[in-house]
Amino acid sequence: MMKFKPNQTRTYDGEGFKRRAACLCFKNEKEDEVLLVSSSRHPDQWIVPGGGMEPEEEPCGAAVREVYEEAGVKGKLGRLLGVFEHNQDRKHRTYVYILIVTETLEDWEDSVNIGRKRKWFKVDEAIRVLQSHKPVHAEYLRRLTNTCNPTCSPACSPTNGNTPGSPVTDNNAPHYVCSTQGSDLVNR
């Protein structure tokens, strides 16, 4: 199912969840410093870069496209951390990947168009910064310690944002369901 909005087509899965993708962008394989971007709605708050999937777009391609647009970075896409559902305000189902940053642009789409900023945070600090206004984003970072290493899950390396036949599906990673409180996740 699709819903059209100016400048954007929202896509939904069969259960009515908005299809989203995001990346936890790290400086290196240690995964100890994560890149956050300023919120477009609240420029004084930080968020994990991500957004809605386009029609026919694979989750991994959407994740790479979103971090390029919102954070101005490119990198090596790693494992699928999990699929997170958020039901508090809206029904969102977000595929969250790990990305190791290899290139940082000086000027990027959202910095030019809306003045978006980016900043590196230690993981613990990022969790604190996100907890008050984006608890689900903080939960992505908490789940890092409960996942496998980067070599045990298939990764996809999109070149154009679409990867037909990509092996990444709901069954390839932990699937977490976020409670209506916004922070309690359970395995599904």
69 is catalytic: yes
Instruction: Give yes or no for a contact between 31 and 98, defined as CB atoms under 8 angstroms apart.
Output: yes
Q: Which of 15, 57, 58, 69 is catalytic?
A: 69
Spatial distance between the Cα atoms of 3 and 82, rounded to a whole number of angstroms: 25
Give DSSP secondary structure letters for the chain.
Answer: -EEEETTEEEEB-TTSPEEEEEEEEESSTT--EEEEEE-SS-TTSEE--EEEPPTT--HHHHHHHHHHHHH-EEEEEEEEEEEEEE-SSS-EEEEEEEEEEEEE-SS-HHHHHH---EEEEEHHHHHHHHHTT-HHHHHHHHGGGGS--TTSS-----SSS--TT-S--GGGS-EEEE-TTSS-EEE-
Active-site amino acid positions: 69
